Amino acid sequence: MKRLIAAALSAALVLGTAQAAFAADVRLSTQNLAVDGTAVNCEKYNIDGNNYFKLRDVAAALDGTENGFSVDYDSVSKSVVIVPGEKYVSDGSENAAGGDKSSTARISSQKIVIGDETISGLKVYNIGGNNYFKLRELGDLLGFAVSYDEATRTAVVKTVGSSSGSGPAPIVFNNTPYDIVSGYDAATETFMTTLDTSLPLMVTYNVPYVKSSVPAYKVINSYLARKVRDFWSADNEQLQDVLEWASIYQEESEDSKIYNYEFLHPCSIEYYKDYVSVVVQYDWWMGGVNDYGADCMIFDAKTGKQLTLRDFYGPDEALSDRDVVKKVIEALKVEDNGTGNITFDYVKEYKPEDFDIFIDDGALCVWFDKYEVSYGAYGEVVLKLKDL
């Protein structure tokens, strides 16, 4: 009997804690929604001052655009699965303002998967059996721009190809919000973002926009859009450090208009029959100290999957992961040529997925940043591993 009473008390405590934990203010939202200039009727709620939109309504509204996506549910993993570029299949519940279901609102326990990547850090609510998202967070994940028209109380969605949009959400430093200005350069097919700040600082982050002739271009563009979101995130400690240093310099400098601090990210892309190779470089200049390197990616042109070094040493070569790493170490030794300028200690601990790989003139290459495998004065190291 004591066990039953204890179990009952425990269950009551858990239930009471869960109910107490969900104390959000949930009400129907009066905000409007427009996609590429067209008004969209949809279900939306204001939760603690933020507007949340039903995922299926957004998917239906974006269907047929460059940013369209499918929505499905995996009951085994209890995951909401979003696939960029796939046609949305209606379940009949979309774009109709229903009754007030705010009393059913709960934080969603379902995982959110985009492509083959599980996304963390999102606050998603389940209301009446449907998942509701912040529109700007969806835009950052899937590559469409979101702004707000205060005069008409309208959330404005602009898909790629319709307008450059408003860019990522402002980043806050020392309680001051700084806007991120974005734009699409059709000549170079590049999506560019720049920090708008009064600090003596220039920060840019650019990614290529993969052309539509690539079968999986929407999947790859969605992944690159998430790279942009992650860079401008408050969780990017390197960006926060840059802001801190520039702020200190501004206080000490007589001429704060001189850009003595730069954090630039130019990009490049190469197309091949089976692959898309993307390189986003970084050039970091902080008042006399310089660092540089790159974030390199190779995608399967048909599926959009990001490939690792393991994918280029398949069954035909029958190499273990350790053997693949040894291939890189051997190439580093040849590059070093006995000079001792390159160290191999850190690389021995790498896994095939840890390497920055790209394709240059048909050859598989590995990029090591400055200081990664050599002294600073030696610079970055770029190795050619094999022809593809």
**Where do the structural domains in the chain lie, given as residue ranges?**
21-158, 171-387
CB within 8 Å of 89: residues ≥ 6 apart: 70
Binned at pLDDT 50, 70 and 90, residue 301 comes out as very high
Per-residue model confidence (pLDDT) at position 320 = 87
- Kindly state the tokens that stand for 94: 């979309």
Query: In terms of residues, how long is the chain?
Result: 388
| Between residues 134 and 259, the one the model is more confident about | 134
The answer, yes or no, to whether residue 14 has pLDDT greater than 50, is no
The answer, yes or no, to whether residue 179 has pLDDT greater than 90, is no
User: What single-letter DSSP state applies at residue 52?
Assistant: E
Gap between the Cα atoms of 53 and 61, Å rounded? 12
* Per-chain mean pLDDT for the chain: 84
- Kindly state the tokens that stand for 386: 């094999």
> What is the pTM assigned to this prediction?
0.69
Gap between the Cα atoms of 303 and 71, Å rounded? 17
Binned at pLDDT 50, 70 and 90, residue 164 comes out as very low
Distances (CA, A) of 181 to 155, 166, 178: 18, 7, 10
Gap between the Cα atoms of 222 and 276, Å rounded? 14
Which CATH code of 3.40.50.300, 3.50.50.60, 3.30.565.40, 3.90.1300.10 fits the domain covering 171-387? 3.30.565.40
Per-residue model confidence (pLDDT) at position 159 = 80
Binned at pLDDT 50, 70 and 90, residue 314 comes out as confident
Cβ 32 vs Cβ 43: under 8 Å: no
Strand locations in 235-351, DSSP E?
Answer: 261-264, 267-271, 275-286, 289-300
The answer, yes or no, to whether residue 77 has pLDDT greater than 80, is yes
Checking DSSP bridges between strand 145-149 and strand 130-134, what pairing results, if any?
Answer: unpaired
Among the listed ranges 233-237, 265-269, 361-365, which one has the minimum average pLDDT value? 233-237
Mean per-residue pLDDT for 182-195? 83
CB within 8 Å of 320: residues ≥ 6 apart: none
Binned at pLDDT 50, 70 and 90, residue 7 comes out as very low
Tokens 């996609």 found at: 35
Per-residue model confidence (pLDDT) at position 315 = 65
- What residue type is 147 in one-letter code? S
Per-residue model confidence (pLDDT) at position 252 = 64
